Every structure is written in C-alpha cells, then in structure tokens.
Amino acid sequence: MHDGSGSISAPSFATAVFGSAGIPVRRLGLSGTYRPGREAIHYALDHGVNLFFCYGFDGQTIRTLRDLSPSRRREIVLVTGAYNLLWGHPDLRRTLEKRLRQFRTDSLDVFLFLGVMKPRQCPDDVLEELVRFREEGKVRAVGVSTHDRAFAGTLAKQGDLNALMIRYNAAHRGAESDIFPHVTAHDPGVISYTATRWGYLLRRPRGWPSERPVPTARQCYRFVLSNPSVDVCLTAPANLRQLQDNLQALADGPLAPDEMTFLRDFGDIVHRRRSTFTPSEANPTRGATRR
Ligand SMILES: NC(=O)c1ccc[n+]([C@@H]2O[C@H](COP(=O)([O-])OP(=O)(O)OC[C@H]3O[C@@H](n4cnc5c(N)ncnc54)[C@H](OP(=O)(O)O)[C@@H]3O)[C@@H](O)[C@H]2O)c1
C-alpha cells in the first residue's frame, strides 16, 4: 500500500527506515487490537503514524483504513499476516489472498507468519513460501512474529526474511543479546510488541516501595524506542486518551540515563515476579493475550 511518498525523511528518534525493505516509518506503530475507536485511528493518521498492524479479525482497523482515500491509503504501511494454528500452519497463500481482499489491494507492505512459539512450527517450506510472496511482488517484506528469541536470532542471521516481530520491553530484555546483535548482517525490519508487558510495567508490584514511582506508559514506549535496533514499537491503546499520551513518547525522545536505570531496575522486579502467564498469539484476543 505504501508508495514511498509521505513526509518521513532522515531517520531520527521518531522515524526510521524499515530494514532492507527500505520503507520509511514512524517508529510508533498502531495496533487496533484493543479497539481504540475510529476516532483514535484517524487521530493517529493525522499525527504522523503510518504503520498499522492488524490481524484479520481487527474489523475496526480494517474498515477504517479501507475507507481512506486512495492517496491516503498509499501513505500507510500495512502489517498483517497469518496466524500459526496449534494443529498445523495455515494455508499461507490463501490467507494472503484473503488479506488482499480484506484491504482491497493487490499488494501488502509486511506479511508475517504470526504466533510462532517454537521453531518446528515454522519449517523451511513456510519460510520458502513467504519468500515467494515477496519475489512475486505481492508483499514488500515478509517475516515471522515469535516469542522464541533464539529462533528470531537464527532467522536474522539467515537473512531470508526481511521483517521480524519480537517481544521487547523493560522486563524482557533478552532481545538485546539474542536478537539485536544479529540484525546488522541482513538488516530485517524489526517490530516490537509488549512494551507495557501486558500492563504489568504500569502497576506497582508487591514489594516496590510506595514512595517510588512506577513507569508511565510513555516511558515504556520510550524504553523500547531508545534501542536503535527496533524500527517500530507497537502501541495498542485502549482509547483515544491513551493514544494521545503514547504519541508524546516520540516527541519526548530517548530516555535520560537516570530514567533508563529506573526502567531497567523496575523491569528486573517485574521480571522476577512474573506470573505463570504463558504468552500466546494463538488466541490473540484482549484477555488471552495480556494475562
Ligand atoms: N502480547 C503479546 O504476547 C503479543 C505477541 C505478538 C503480537 N501482539 C500484538 O501486538 C499488538 C500490541 O500489543 P501489546 O501487548 O504490545 O500492546 P501494549 O501497547 O504494550 O499494551 C497495550 C495496553 O497497555 C495499556 N496502556 C497503553 N497505553 C496506556 C496509557 N497511556 N496509559 C495507561 N495504560 C496504557 C492499556 O491497558 P489497559 O486496557 O489495561 O488500560 C493497553 O490496552 C497487539 O495487536 C497484540 O495482539 C502481542
């Protein structure tokens, strides 16, 4: 959908070039999975957000983007994909064709195989199929969304895929050693999720002194964006007010050293106290995804 037009020029804290695909992006991308409302999606568009992530069931986002004028739609970087099924991977081509129909377009920007929990769920024939989509010109960037950091690191080293979607936040920083050092060789575009760690980074954990602050959502996104290996951090606000708040993260810039120390210390506590929650994209609905 994106034709390379738009106002993003040199990379900065707020903007980046999406890996070797060379797509200019605003570094906060909007996910409408928690249904922030059409007004919020328009607000994001009007305030420079150009990357939108959605599943096939994110009807509010799909309808809002589909209804834009053709020139506006060409400015959008659309990220979508096919979800891994626990009983076997889906027909990727059929899903791609469905997404093209849903968005009434003949090409997509980023198409991901979503919800890969283990490498065996993403065998070579799946990777080859994704690469074929790119070679056929149906998609500009193809990749995998996975919680398995070692697998993401391997994919980055292999270099066949030119997009990766991964977990990264102040509590889960393993990407700093398992993934980011490996992206330099082939430069896949990197999208991160769970900046708020399913909201846990915004709540006072047991044992955290009452006189000490807890991070703001804005700080959580700035933590992620302070890492230059991340091209785009997804934000999934629940409403317009949250979106407005979160977009300020781009204007605020990187975390100051004392804020970075605070976020890492707080993240350590949250990580130590982590619940038995097992993340899963297999059922990426609000409740199931986040708790
Ligand atoms: N989570 C996963 O494991 C995972 C994996 C792969 C892909 N994804 C996808 O990635 C996308 C992004 O999800 P995410 O979990 O990364 O989203 P996120 O932006 O980290 O978290 C969104 C939640 O954080 C809270 N929040 C956001 N802004 C806030 C603000 N300004 N003030 C207070 N609270 C605020 C809200 O929770 P309240 O509603 O409680 O206020 C909101 O629903 C989604 O489409 C998701 O399905 C997620």
Q: Give tens-digit pLDDT for 112-127.
A: 999 999 999 999 999 9
d(CA 52, CA 108): 12
Half-sphere exposure of 232 (CA within 13 A, CB side): 29
Q: Which of 62, 203, 220, 289 has most ligand 1 atoms within 8 Å of its beta carbon, as the pocket-test mutant? A: 289
CB atoms within 10 A of CB 106: 9
Going from the Cα of 136 to the center of ligand 1, the distance in angstroms, rounded, reads 33
**The predicted structure's pLDDT at residue 206:** 86
Mean pLDDT of the chain: 92
Whether residue 286 has pLDDT greater than 80 = no
Radius of gyration of the chain (CA): 18
Can you state the percent helix, strand and coil of the chain, rounding each to 5?
40, 20, 40
Bigger pLDDT: 287 vs 196 = 196
Per-residue pLDDT at 275:
55
pLDDT-based confidence at residue 282 (cuts at 50, 70, 90):
very low
Per residue in 41-72, pLDDT (tens digit) is: 999 999 999 999 999 999 999 999 999 999 99
Model pLDDT, residue 4: 55
Which range, of 20-34, 75-89, 93-107, 228-242, averages the lowest pLDDT? Answer: 75-89
pLDDT in tens, 243-272: 999 999 999 999 999 999 999 999 999 999
Choose the residue to mutate in 193, 219, 235, 281 for probing ligand 1, maximizing ligand atoms within 8 Å of C-beta: 193
Statement: residue 168 has pLDDT above 60: yes
Integer CA distances (angstroms), 6 to 29, 44, 74, 76, in order? 15, 15, 9, 9
- Predicted confidence at residue 114, as pLDDT, reads 97
Listed range (37-46, 202-211, 279-288) with the worst mean pLDDT: 279-288
Angle formed at CA 254 by CA 208 and CA 286, multiple of 5 degrees: 60
> In the prediction, which pLDDT does 276 show?
43
| Percent of the chain residues past pLDDT 70, beyond the cut | 90
pLDDT for 49 equals 98
Cβ atoms of 270 and 197 closer than 8 Å: yes
Evaluate: CB of 282 within 6 angstroms of ligand 1: no
**Measuring CA to CA, how many Å separate 267 from each of 31, 193, 223, 250, 263?**
23, 15, 11, 21, 6
Average pLDDT over every residue of 133-143:
98
* pLDDT value, residue 127: 97
- Distance, in Å, from the CA atom of 214 to the CA atom of 208, rounded to the nearest integer, reads 9
Report whether 66 contacts 58 (CB < 8 A).
Answer: no
Which band of pLDDT confidence, cut at 50, 70 and 90, is reported for residue 222? very high
**In this structure, are residues 168 and 175 in contact, taking their beta carbons and an 8 Å threshold?**
yes
Domain ranges of the chain: 15-290
Question: Residue 249's beta-bridge partner residues?
Answer: none
Atom of ligand 1 nearest to the CA of 286: 47
- CA 124 to centroid of ligand 1, rounded, Å: 31
Q: Report the pLDDT value the prediction gives residue 273, as an integer from 0 to 100.
A: 85
| Distance from the alpha carbon of residue 78 to the mean position of ligand 1, in angstroms | 18
Q: Which amino acid is at 185?
A: A
What is the rounded distance in angstroms from the CA atom of residue 224 to the CA atom of residue 172? 11
CB-based contact 263:223 (threshold 8 Å): yes
Q: CA dist 139 to 114, 117, 180, Å?
A: 15, 23, 24
pTM of the model: 0.93
- Window from 71-80, 226-235, 275-284 with minimum mean pLDDT: 275-284
Cβ(36) to ligand 1 under 6 A?
no
Distances (CA, A) of 214 to 199, 200, 205, 217, 243: 12, 10, 9, 10, 19
Ligand 1 centroid distance, CA of 290 (Å): 8
Kindly give the number of the ligand 1 atom that is closest to the alpha carbon of 218.
31
Per-residue confidence band for 290, with pLDDT thresholds at 50, 70 and 90: very low
Ligand 1 binding pocket includes 214 (Cβ within 6 Å) = no
Res 178 pLDDT > 70: yes
CA of 245 to the centre of ligand 1 (A): 13
CATH superfamily of 15-290: NADP-dependent oxidoreductase domain (3.20.20.100)
**Ligand 1 geometric centre to CA of 268 (Å):** 19
The reply to whether ligand 1 has any atom less than 6 angstroms from the CB of 284 is yes
Q: How confident is the model at residue 197 (pLDDT cuts 50, 70, 90)?
A: very high
Nearest ligand 1 atom to the CA of 238 is: 43
pLDDT of residue 9 exceeding 90, the answer is no
Q: Is 143 a residue whose pLDDT tops 80?
A: yes
What is the predicted pLDDT for the residue at 3? 67
Ligand 1 centroid, distance to 240 Cα (angstroms) = 14
For residues 58 and 128, give the distance between their C-alpha atoms in angstroms, rounded to a whole number.
Answer: 27
Site of tokens 């080293």: 157
